[in-house]
Amino acid sequence: MDSMTLANQITDYLESAGITINGSHPWDIQVHREELYGRVMQEGPLGLGEAYMEKWWDCERLDQFFYLLLKASLDKKIKTNVPFSFYTRYLLSYIINFQSKQRAKEVAIKHYNLGNNLFENMLDPYMIYSCAYFKNTDKLAEAQVAKLELICQKLQLKPGLRVLDIGCGFGGFAKYAALKHGVHVTGITISEQQYHFAKKFCEGLPISLFLKDYRDLNEQFDRVVSIGMFEHVGYKNYETFIETVHRVLSNDGLFLLHTIGSNETSTVINEWTLKYIFPNGMLPSIAEIAKHVEKKFIVEDWQNFGAYYDPTLIAWYDNFKNNWHAIKSQFDERFYRMWTYYLLSCAGSFRARMNQVWQIVFSKHGVPGVYMSPR
């Protein structure tokens, strides 16, 4: 297919979704290099993302561009070539454990260890790097506190309980739960920078923090929580993760899993995201979670508030953009465009409901009576 025909074909597809190439709407894309069309058809999502990083095209409202594109299912209608590397990884995902103990550290090195200054300038005061709960507010800080309180209520926290936070991040949940509910929290992470930040952030509170993989846990806890970490576990390790939680949770305890979820079961994610943002990442499906909790846990509650990840990501992007002057000495313009693409393309994806956010509460033997979950 010649370049003119290709450009016309893509133009027609985009116009069917309300997007005009070089149009005047903020969600219209501005093409700077005609080779973009061939690159996207040849390399798919990876080529589209890399072309943006390399300034081959621009868009004032990337979030809305991706929302319109995905809502119209153009990701399925436009038949691009899938890079050989993607097929290779897809096949290898059935053979290799990409989230083994050693490989699990890759995401910590490439993403979570980018520098605490970046996240301090992007996140809320509690440093929560997961979906906020915008039920009664439009302010990020208030929405994150609402999410933390929601989790504490779902776990029925009370003073003296021992709580395990798997993937404790910067220590935000641990700090909130210890301060507001009087519990002792043990937090584990594999990110050295998050660990050092959390140690200072939680100083003086009944909180114990460790650089540790979840597979090395042996103590007993009254409650277990995992917030935004299950996306890095991988389908080959779901069974091990669930078995570990089952082993360390007391018989009358509760376990809350907060995770991004996929509408469909898959062993791989978008090639661009895999390469530049979350190496070895994998989104669980309802079927995958159900398969591994069966015969181990009773599902007491399952809530989906994935639509709230859209305003969460927009708030992070606004902070990132407005505070770029405070962090740009650590990064370059390519990183700025990469991070912009990451935050806004994800916002568009959640706006189109391509992905979800689930909070699931489990018990071992069932809560006596009726478990009444707050909302």
361-to-225, 298, 299 alpha-carbon distances in Å: 9, 9, 6
Locate 128 and state its tokens: 């929560």
By the 8 A CB rule, do 253 and 224 touch? Answer: yes
Q: Beta strand 298-304 with 207-211: parallel, antiparallel or unpaired?
A: unpaired
By the 8 A CB rule, do 117 and 330 touch? Answer: yes
3-state secondary structure of 224: strand
Which has the closest alpha carbon to 322: 121, 142, 129, 143? Answer: 121
* Nearest-angstrom CA–CA distance, 339 and 332: 11
By the 8 A CB rule, do 95 and 291 touch? Answer: no
Q: What is the DSSP letter of 231?
A: G
Is residue 346 annotated as a catalytic residue, yes or no?
Answer: yes
| Residue 120 identity | E
Q: Which residues are catalytic?
A: 346
